[in-house]
Structure formats: structure tokens, C-alpha cells
Structure 1
Amino acid sequence: MSDVSRLSPTSRLQLLVLSNGHGEDIIAVRILQELLQLANPPDIYALPLVGEGRAYQNLNIPLIGAVRTMPSGGFIYMDGRQLARDVRGGLLQLTWSQIQAMRRWVSSQQKLGNKQAILAVGDIVPLLFAFISGANYAFVGTAKSEYYVRDEVGLLPRKSKAARWENFSGSIYHPWERWLMSRRRCRAVFPRDGLTTQILQNWSIPAFDVGNPMMDGLQPKVSPQLFYMANARYQEMDRPLVITLLPGSRAPEAYNNWQVIMTAVSALMASFQERDSFLPNSGTVVFVGAIAPSLDLTTLAETVESQGWQTHLDLPLPFPDADALIFKQRNAHLVLTQQSYNECLHWGDVAIAMAGTATEQFIGLGKPAIAIPGEGPQYTPAFAEAQSRLLGLSLILVEQPVQVAQVVRSLFTNPDTLHIIRENGVRRMGKPGAARRIADCLVEKLGI
């Protein structure tokens, strides 16, 4: 915890960043990295409302208040039982201490004569914190999108009467949220897509369509184009089909998801035994598993080997991970990597997904993903259904893993569908560079 009372008066803006989740921390840090490259960057502090804020600590940004990981891990909105666990774990006391820490920070900056502002990243919780701080603020809305309730044509059909509550006032953002975003001290709002921006602007909210920082920082070390240096057209036909596997990052859920994904892989392998017209001329398939560093590769490898895969050394791709685990079965390879996440996203032609952010990023690159709802606490049937509305036809839901093979066949025998999916994914997730565009806008709106 930094002692802001020892700071000397400065002409630079004092910026406090509030976020409420690991993914939100990462998005905030991407924006902060752009701000720090300015000729006269602000002095930056952070208050992660959920978790320990390791992303800020890795950037040497001081934290101004208490941090703690709650039992739910931040998924309190998906299950009332998770919220109850967090309350028993001290959520209310933690929240009150964080409000007090924020007020102390603002007060100390005012006493020193410093100009201060708040950058809230996430949902209504950091937005509400920013409002009660008394300082000017900006809001990066990561949790809500109009695509949950509508597309460019109109409202989506919904089976549940309770679903009407999501859009009862004409927007996915409720009146009290729009009220917080329309205050004079709210200088800028950055929704996650153009459709949401357009709707919010109907209420004179200072909303700016600059893209989604989730699509930043995904450049691979090895570009897919470097696979084929000459005779590119022929080699594109001869290259392997690459299928990305996204089991999520939270244990033990990710281990359960991996078992489901491997069942889907086995069904795919069975379908490949006969010569399929949608396979490349090589007839080779490579499965690449994007595994979070927090997970145990040995546990995942045991599941792979139980499905008949054998350890192998060579891989028909220039994979930039010397520690990757490689397996082979007939004409297919399977790779587990904890160091080449971006390559897994860029190389894949299609994903089998049971993840949140990773699925959205894969689709944002213009590719289709097939989702299998799990048992949670994150990737539940309700979460997957909501994500399918957010991502539209780019995300195909199946009830059973054995259905994945049929969907893959359908996708790669319909090139027109793949073209529409490509355009849809980019439109819904935005183009790279959003963090820099947000930083440039903050310079103007917050007076950095």
C-alpha cells in the first residue's frame, strides 16, 4: 500500500484505476501501458476490487487499499450461492474498506492541490465507486453489450419472460447505470462494441467507439503466413487443419472441461478415419491446447494418453515452445502449450471452446468456435448461451461433445458461412489498437 500523503504537489494528473476482475485488470493494464508511453504520463495508482491485482503489481503500479481473493474468484454474478460464499468470506467488510481507501486517496490528492481522476474498468461496481469518489472519471464497460439482447436487425427472440428484464428500458444498460454514465463528472465511456456505443449515445452519454482492448496484444511470435514461403497457394491446400482447444484457466473446472474436450477430439478423430472432403490434401490434423500457466500439464497429459495418444517429438509446425508436450495418433498431432497462447489463437482454423475471454478473442480474429457447456462455476449452460448471443453465429453451441465432429464438417464444407463468420467476429470484437485509442481519448477528456 502506497503512502500518498508523502507525495509532493505535482502538475501531472493523479489517476486511480478501479477494476473488478482478473480480465478487467488485464484490460486496464493494457490502457495504462499506453498512457505510460506519453511524454508526460499521469501518476498511476490502482485499487483492484476483486482479486489481488497481480497485473498491476507486475507493472509496478502501487495499490492504495486492501486486496483479497474471494471464494467465488469473481464469479458472484453467475450463482447466488457464490455471492453468499463471498459475503460469508468478508465481501461487505472488504468493500467498505476499499471505499474508505479510495476516499482517503482522493482527499489526500486534493489537500496536496493535485488534479485527480478515476478510470473505472468493468461493470457497475467500479462505475459506482468512481461516482462516489467525487472526482472526474471515465468508464471502460467490459461486462455488457447490446449484442446480448439485439443485433443490427433488432431484438433477439428470447424464451424466458425474465429475459425481458435485460432490455426493459431500451438498453442492456439499465437507467441507473446510464445515469452514472451521463453525469457531468463522467468525461468518457468506452463500450465494448459499436452497437452498444450507438445505443448509449441516444441518452447523451459521452460514449466513444474505439474498439475492445481484449483484441490487443495478441500478435503471434510466428505468423501463420510464415509456414509457407513458396508455392503458397499449393501449400495452403496441403497444410494441416489446426483445431484450437480452449479449456479455460480455472482449476478444477478446467480439468473437467478438458475431459469433455478430449471426448470431442476422439469423436473428431473417428470421423477422420474415412477420407473427408473438407480435410486439407495432407490429411493431417493438429490440435493445439492453449493451457493456462496455472494448470498442471501432467494432469491434462494423463487425460490425453487415456484417449490413445502417444508421446511424440516432432511437430509439422514451427511451434515456438520448447517445453510443449507433443502427442501423436495416426495422422494427427496434439500439442499442450503454456507459452504460445497467441499462436494457438492465430493458427487455429476452428476452436473447441469452454472458456470466456479466450473464446471471444479467438472469434474476434474472424474464426468459428464450437462451445460445449460445462458444469461451471464459470462455463455453465447459462454462460454459454449468453456468450452465444454476444458472439452471434461465430459461436456454435452443442449439447454433447460427440456433436462437434458434425459441426466441423458442416463449417468446412460451406466456405460462404466461414466468410460471414469472419466478418461477424471482427465486427463484434473490434480491431486491435483499442488501448492506444482509449489512452489518446483520456488525454483529451481527463486533461492528462
Structure 2
Amino acid sequence: MSDLSPLPLVANSLDTTSRLQLLVLSNGHGEDIIAVRIIRELQGLSSPPDIFALPIVGEGLAYQQLNVPCIGAVQTMPSGGFIYMDSRQLMRDVQGGLVQLTWKQIQAVRRWVSSQTKLGNQKAILAVGDIVPLLFAAISGANYAFVGTAKSEYYVRDELGLLARKSKSARWENFSGSIYHPWERWLMSRRRCRAVFPRDALTTEILRKWPIPAFDLGNPMMDGLESTLRIPRFYHADVEQQEIVRPLIVTLLPGSRANEAYANWEMIMMAVSALMESFREREMVFLGAIAPGLDRNILSQTLKIQGWQNWDQSPIQLADANALIFKQRNAYLILTQQAYNDCLHLGDLAIAMAGTATEQFIGLGKPAIAIPGKGPQYNPAFAEAQSRLLGASLILVDQPAKVPQVMQSLFKNPDVLHEIAENGVKRMGRPGAAKRIAQCLQERLR
């Protein structure tokens, strides 16, 4: 599937030196990060726009890294933005002032668009996320572009056709021929919508069936994950022999939401104990990729209760001098809050109970084993949907004790590992998307 070439630009009477003012809308922590990656690339262009932001969910702390001014009210909702398939979380947000906050934010966007600016300056909006920022952009009166992070055709189909689903209500997801519903496609096909950037090539192909300016430029989620380490991989024809002579490295991804992540961590540690029991003759290294907002002391306490002891020497090199190291029998466990990229690249596979982190790990061509938790984010509904999004690369188990069985099966099937490696790159895309999107935005929004 080839990229859609930019449409010819329409000549206008504005001075070619006029400055573009761009308002970036996003609705979630992950969306904020994606938006910031695109903003950083926009700021590096020869004629960068003046950039403003409005995080619709949360306080938008990511924008502070680049000193991007916020134009309106921000507030963290009780759900933290995780209302996926959970009406109770939505009601908590409504009770917490969601409706009033949304109305204030819509007014702020329209004021920004209609405000007086220097003669010749142009206003445009970049919406990042789902239908909420897209709707804000559409009713603003300005030209806009949309980075669709929430939806993918892989949720309902693969390259061979529609996926089999157990629930009759699941047909609703694709009732009109696309994961994007008619009202969403209508917002994307308006004259003022100058560009749409779906998260993968399959979704782009489907959207091009309608008059939507869809561009297949990749997924910014895979940007900024580089590692300087020399990474071993076990995806070779002699995989079983190679596995005998080197440590098995497993990345642990408990998620970033505090209370939920601590509960996830306890479940992940049950899986770790089961793995150590099944691989008694094998040295193992577990890498705990811990979000900066989590308390390492709480996680360490769980380890000590299960018999892990503090250790001085790390079995592998990580870019984190403050990492905590533990040892038990034939295994090491490292807790790090600074070497996230290294954890993704070093891991042979992951035990995952996270959203974005799981997708990024799989995007590097690796398998992940997921255990659905109690939520609010990584609950059974979310995990099941994520398994459709990521296909063969994400294997769901209903209890931690089943993780060793899945791992043994992977080791015995190098062809499956090769398929997983290709699948991950296909579904998540190659690095460099933020730069490609920024360059396209510069052309399409002027």
C-alpha cells in the first residue's frame, strides 16, 4: 500500500511569509506524548509555526517539556482518562465536572481561532486522539488535521478479512464498513480537514474508500525508542541451542497508573515465580520497566515478601545508575525508572499489563504475554481488544501460572517467532512517523 501523495496546494492571496499558528488538541497522557513528538519535529522545520496546546484530559504535563503555552482550563478527571468500556468511570468523570470542563474548553478553542492576530497569520488545529478532539477541531471554524490514535481496522479485521467475534454486539464496531463510524468519517471528509494520519497502513487503505485525505506515514508511538545497547535476539533457526547458553531476558510492564500498577505488579510476580520454577536450569533476568510516577518502595516490598534479596552487581548494562537490583536462586530482577528504552530492546519477550508500553514492545517485533487485570485500564475488555489490535504478537492467558507454558511453546516454534517479528512491525509501523507527519502538516495546513 503506497502513501497518498499530497494534493496540489491551492494558491491564495496570503503573503507566503505569513506565519502559521497551530493549536494542538489531545485527550490523554499517551496522546499528549504523541503530540509532543510531532511538535518537536514541527519546531525543527525551517519555518516552524507558533504552537499552542489544549490537553482535553489531564493537565498536559508533557507540553511543559517544550514550553508550549496552554490556552484553556485543564483538570485531571477521577478516571484518569481510562473510561474504555466502563460506564462507571464515565459517570465518575461527569460527577467530577467533565461537562462543565468540556464546555469551557470548546469556548477556549473558538476564542483562540477568532482572536485578532497579526495581518496575514493563519490559524489551524491539529487534533490527536479520538472523536473528541476531532469534533473540537471541526466546530472551531479553522482548518484542521487529525492524528487518529484510538482506532485501527485491526480491531475488526486483518489483511484476509473480518475477524470472527463471539458477541453479536461486536458487529456495531464495523457496521458501516470501517472501524471509523459515518459521523467520524464525515468530520474527516470536511473541506477544512486537510489531512488525516491513521495509525497503520490497513486503516489508511480503508479510509481512502471515502473522500478522506488519509496519509500512511506511520505511527509516532514507535518514535524515540532508540537504544545504544547491543541487543541479543533469539529469533534464529538454532533458537533452542542459543537459549541454553545465555540468560533469558523478560521485560515486565505493569502499567503507569499507580494503584492499578501495584496490583498488576503482584500478578506479574506470580508469573515470574512460575517461570523460575519451570526454568530451574536457566539463568533469567527480569527487567521491571517502572513508570517515573510509581513508588519503587511499594514494588520492592512485594519482591522481598516473595524472597528476593538486594544485590550489588547488575548482570546486564542499563542506562540507569539508580536501578535497584535483586537476586533469587537462578534469577536477577532489576527495577528501573530511567532505562525504559533499554528494557524494551533487551527483553526477549514481555509479561505485559500495560497499554502503550505493550504496543511499543510488540512494535519492535517481539512477543508479549498479557494477563488481564481488574482495571480501570488493563481489564479483560481492554486486553481482549488489544489482542485483536496486535494479532499473533500478543498472547492472552487467564492466570499467571500459564505464562511458562506459552513461553515454552514459543521457544519450540521459531517460525512463529519470525511471524511475530514481522507482524509487530506491520501493525505498529517503523520509526520516523512524527517527522513525516510534521513535514506533511507544513504543506497541508498553509
Is TM-score (shorter-chain normalized) higher than 0.5? Answer: yes
Cα distance, 1:107 vs structure 2: 0.6
Cα distance, 1:413 vs structure 2: 1.4
Whether 1:272 aligns to 2:279 is yes
Aligned to 2:198: 191
Q: Could you list the per-position Cα deviations for residues 102-135 of structure 1 after superposition, in whole angstroms to 9, with x for gaps in the alignment?
A: 1111011468542110000000000000000010
Aligned to 1:334: 333
Aligned to 1:279: none
Q: Partner letter of residue 366 of structure 2?
A: K
Aligned to 2:101: 94
Q: 2: CA distance between counterparts of 1:152 and 1:30?
A: 29
CA distance 1:15–1:93, change in 2 (3 Å)? same
Aligned to 1:5: none
Q: Are the counterparts in 2 of residues 78 and 378 from structure 1 also a CA contact under 8 Å?
A: no
Whether 1:252 aligns to 2:259 is yes
Describe how 1:160-179 pairs up with structure 2 within 5 A.
160-179=167-186
Q: 2: CA distance between counterparts of 1:371 and 1:62?
A: 38
Q: 2: CA distance between counterparts of 1:184 and 1:393?
A: 39
Whether 1:132 aligns to 2:132 is no
Whether 1:312 aligns to 2:319 is no
Cα distance, 1:225 vs structure 2: 5.8
Name the stretch that deviates more: 97-106 or 306-315: 306-315
Name the stretch that deviates more: 73-82 or 31-40: 73-82
Whether 1:303 aligns to 2:319 is no
Q: 1: CA distance between counterparts of 2:223 and 2:244?
A: 30
Aligned to 1:347: 346
Aligned to 2:397: 398
Q: Which runs of 5+ in 1 are unaligned?
A: 1-9, 227-233, 276-282
Q: 1: CA distance between counterparts of 2:382 and 2:155?
A: 11
Q: 2: CA distance between counterparts of 1:261 and 1:422?
A: 24
Correspondence for 1:49 among 56, 72, 82: 56
Aligned to 1:423: 422
Q: Are the counterparts in 2 of residues 109 and 115 from structure 1 also a CA contact under 8 Å?
A: no
Whether 1:115 aligns to 2:85 is no
CA distance 1:240–1:181, change in 2 (3 Å)? same
Q: 2: CA distance between counterparts of 1:109 and 1:56?
A: 24
Aligned to 1:363: 362
Cα distance, 1:204 vs structure 2: 1.9
Report runs of 4+ in structure 1 exceeding 6 Å deviation: 234-237
Aligned to 1:375: 374
Q: Could you list the per-position Cα deviations for residues 175-233 of structure 1 after superposition, in whole angstroms to 9, with x for gaps in the alignment?
A: 0000000011100000000000000000121101110000000012433269xxxxxxx
Aligned to 1:200: 207
Q: Are the counterparts in 2 of residues 72 and 85 from structure 1 also a CA contact under 8 Å?
A: yes
Q: Are the counterparts in 2 of residues 310 and 329 from structure 1 also a CA contact under 8 Å?
A: yes
CA distance 1:109–1:14, change in 2 (3 Å)? farther
Q: Partner letter of residue 245 of structure 1?
A: L
Q: 2: CA distance between counterparts of 1:207 and 1:109?
A: 31
Q: 1: CA distance between counterparts of 2:191 and 2:303?
A: 56
Cα distance, 1:237 vs structure 2: 6.5
Q: Partner letter of residue 395 of structure 2?
A: I
Q: Are the counterparts in 2 of residues 221 and 320 from structure 1 also a CA contact under 8 Å?
A: no
Name the stretch that deviates more: 236-245 or 175-184: 236-245
Q: Are the counterparts in 2 of residues 72 and 82 from structure 1 also a CA contact under 8 Å?
A: yes
Aligned to 1:441: 440
Q: Are the counterparts in 2 of residues 325 and 336 from structure 1 also a CA contact under 8 Å?
A: yes
Indicate the SS of the match to 2:151. Answer: coil
Aligned to 2:410: 411
CA distance 1:235–1:315, change in 2 (3 Å)? farther
Q: Partner letter of residue 388 of structure 1?
A: S
Q: Are the counterparts in 1 of residues 276 and 330 from structure 2 also a CA contact under 8 Å?
A: no
Cα distance, 1:318 vs structure 2: 1.4
CA distance 1:236–1:162, change in 2 (3 Å)? closer
The percent of aligned pairs where both chains have the same amino acid is 76
Q: 1: CA distance between counterparts of 2:258 and 2:443?
A: 42
**Count of residue correspondences:** 423
Aligned to 2:238: none
Name the stretch that deviates more: 110-119 or 361-370: 110-119
Whether 1:11 aligns to 2:10 is no
Q: Partner letter of residue 313 of structure 2?
A: D
CA distance 1:438–1:109, change in 2 (3 Å)? farther
Q: 1: CA distance between counterparts of 2:242 and 2:392?
A: 29
Q: Are the counterparts in 2 of residues 353 and 370 from structure 1 also a CA contact under 8 Å?
A: yes
Q: Could you list the per-position Cα deviations for residues 354-379 of structure 1 after superposition, in whole angstroms to 9, with x for gaps in the alignment?
A: 00000000000000000000000000
RMSD (Å) for aligned C-alpha atoms: 1.5
CA distance 1:393–1:360, change in 2 (3 Å)? same
Cα distance, 1:238 vs structure 2: 3.2
Q: Could you list the per-position Cα deviations for residues 124-157 of structure 1 after superposition, in whole angstroms to 9, with x for gaps in the alignment?
A: 0000000000100000000000000000000000
Q: Partner letter of residue 363 of structure 1?
A: I
Q: Partner letter of residue 376 of structure 2?
A: P
Q: 2: CA distance between counterparts of 1:397 and 1:111?
A: 55
CA distance 1:94–1:308, change in 2 (3 Å)? same
Aligned to 1:72: 79
Whether 1:222 aligns to 2:229 is yes
Q: Could you list the per-position Cα deviations for residues 285-334 of structure 1 after superposition, in whole angstroms to 9, with x for gaps in the alignment?
A: 10000000110111101111112211111122112211111111122111
Aligned to 1:293: 292
The TM-score normalised by the length of structure 2 is 0.93
Q: Are the counterparts in 2 of residues 50 and 74 from structure 1 also a CA contact under 8 Å?
A: yes
Correspondence for 1:141 among 130, 136, 148: 148
Indicate the SS of the match to 2:157. Answer: coil
Name the stretch that deviates more: 60-69 or 104-113: 104-113
Aligned to 1:26: 33
Indicate the SS of the match to 2:257. Answer: coil
Name the stretch that deviates more: 10-19 or 198-207: 10-19
Indicate the SS of the match to 2:23. Answer: strand
CA distance 1:187–1:351, change in 2 (3 Å)? same
